Structure 1
Amino acid sequence: MSFSCQWSERVSSFSREDWERCFDPGNVLTSYSLQQALERSQLVEGFHYLSLRQEGKLLAIISCFSLSYSLTDLSAPGAQRLMAGLRKLFPGLLKPRLFMVGSPLATCTHMLGIVLPPEDPGYPDLIRSMEREINRKASELGIRLLCLKEFDHRLSQSLALAWQGRFLVCRSPDTTYVYTRAVAGLDYVENMRSRYRDVLKKRKKAFAAAGLRWELVRDFAPHVDVLHRLYLNVWQRSRFRFERLTPAFFHAVNEALGDQASVLLCLDGERIVAFELLLNGQRLHPLYLGVDYDYQGGGALYFNCLYRAIEEAQSQRQALVELGQSSYEAKFSVGAVSARRYFHIKHAHPLGHFLLSRFKRWLFPTPRLPAPRRVFKCEEAYLQALKSEGVL
């Protein structure tokens, strides 16, 4: 099966209709509008879009980008500290340019906009055509390292069969979900075991006693400088440092996404002490968090950010809120359940690929997660509700 392939450098090369033929229009994380915002955010070297057609019919849009990336960002803390020391002498050590297929944001969502389902007989041929094209494009850009992210278990297996061993399959940090609707006739708080419900009430009481309040803001342009500073506070403390956002990102998202983007401000008087950037489609995504760690007023800020995101999903009648990667202990304690994510990576040179394979466990160790919590009285019904939403 043959396909005609074409590369473009801007999402505007496609109509919104064509984009939404390949990507779920209900998923804000893969939306045309978010991609427009990303192009204006100054996060990467450049974007590259591959379209594949058969007899003139559009079958796929593959969203890619290039950037320099630290290969040790997912390593164990000890390895990261060692590398930080070595980079004082060798600043570019293990920071190659990568050709990435996916989003530059930590969305836990892939960017393979393929019309054909994995079980279609033509799917393996399309994947191989895509692989040949991204190999060629990366070579044209002088890049030897290729990576595709973020896949759930089922799609990762389908791709691995098509690759036939040409890519290494690695675990990304898991994403996390909370189901926000009633289970077995009990709402989210009612379903909690008394231990967790009492802790929730105590933290919310501390929040109120500190005089803190929440405000949902649709136009957050006036607050971008503060939001960016608070975001960097969290980013600098994070074990997994993914993309580093720019002020331009916040401005672009505010302008491009309209009602699909908003910010929850946590205020002490008029001072912003924390925030959550919310993207809203078929699911609610509290995509980024910022905290003022100099704030001494108490109020259990981080946990109340989690509770408030869940409440916002409930107010919007969303069944799910995706809490993303990292801080698993805290997220598990509010009822979040993890779902695996994978990325596929290879080096264009055989020796480079051999070394990548040899040091895979050191560079990309399997994530170590804390034990899941039994937060809810109707735990099995809660897990079944998540499965019914297709996330487990």
Structure 2
Amino acid sequence: MKITGYRCLSSVHNWGRPVGDVNGFVASGITEFPIVLLETDVGITGVGTGSHRDLDQIFPAIEGQDPRAVSALYDRMLAQVFKSGHGGATFGGIGTFDMALWDIKAKALGEPLWRLLGARDKFVPGYASGLDIALDDDALSSFYVGMAERGYTAGKLKGGRDHEDDIRRLTLVEDALSINARKPGLMLDANESWNLKQAERFMAKIEDELDLTWIEEPLRRWDAAGHARLSRSIRAAVATGENLTGLEQYSQLFDLGGIDIVQVGSVWGITHFLRVAHAAHSRNLPVSPVGLTLNSALAAAAASVPNHLTAEVQDVNAPFGVTIDQEFIDGGIVVGDTPGVGVSIDEEAIAAQATTHAGWLAPGGPHVRSERAGLRLVGE
């Protein structure tokens, strides 16, 4: 079997609500959904989702190769961009090809990915995450009530600008989820918007009122020393890692004790998740994938590692023209038995769509860092 080529498709995901964080939001609630179809000479096509970045630069590393050698091909892709580096957006292209490679391998064996990776149970524990910075209190409650009806017992709020607002809104999340748990798990995501002392002051106010499970991305992703100091000064766990593009970028966080919950961005692919999970396991740390809704393949990978804690569930609907073999029930995700990663694409429907949509990378969106982030004297 050999890889012969690839094709790119672009669909959209309609969240049905504004989505974003402290750095901005997409008011339309409609975001791009990049798809890559990796072709072989035996008619098996692998599906990868997440990014179209730098695919032409990366593809020579896997062209003509046997796609079943996934781990070796992953390292070939890293080596292909050695000089310029695999960090940042390039890593998304590598992760998307990586997902497609795993899809081909599992399809060739006639197995769902979770079984190929050695999982015993198809159930993956999860937590609700509304990407909810732009939701008013009623919409916020409504989202988490809906997730509570699916059995979720923990929720994550986007915040970080005003502790009084965040305490009020975290309490709304707690109330909505309390039908399933006496003390629901509560997490707060600041999306790298603080400096260390801001984080300590903000967290002191929060922890005066609430028992927070974790604070997510309180500081810039590379500030290992700052994360370590913060972890020692608060009760909540410090969760970070979703924006780290490569196993090597976790080294200082591990060595300095700056990470309590090891997070992995789903857009970076399956092999990256597995390697980070095993590195975390060697340090007795739990791992938690972020953004799982739009990369369901990572649920199968999460089911296979011994230290998976919980996975972020942002939405229960699939992007347009995409069918995903999974269920969001009982407070988690149940992955299906379809061979491969469980994602099928309706190319005709996607090609025929005539949807005008606002982009996830639009100015002011959540992937654009806010002005004065980490430089505010008072809350806003």
Q: TM-score band, normalised by the shorter chain?
A: under 0.3
- TM-score of the aligned structures, taking structure 2 as reference length: 0.27
- TM-score of the aligned structures, taking structure 1 as reference length: 0.26
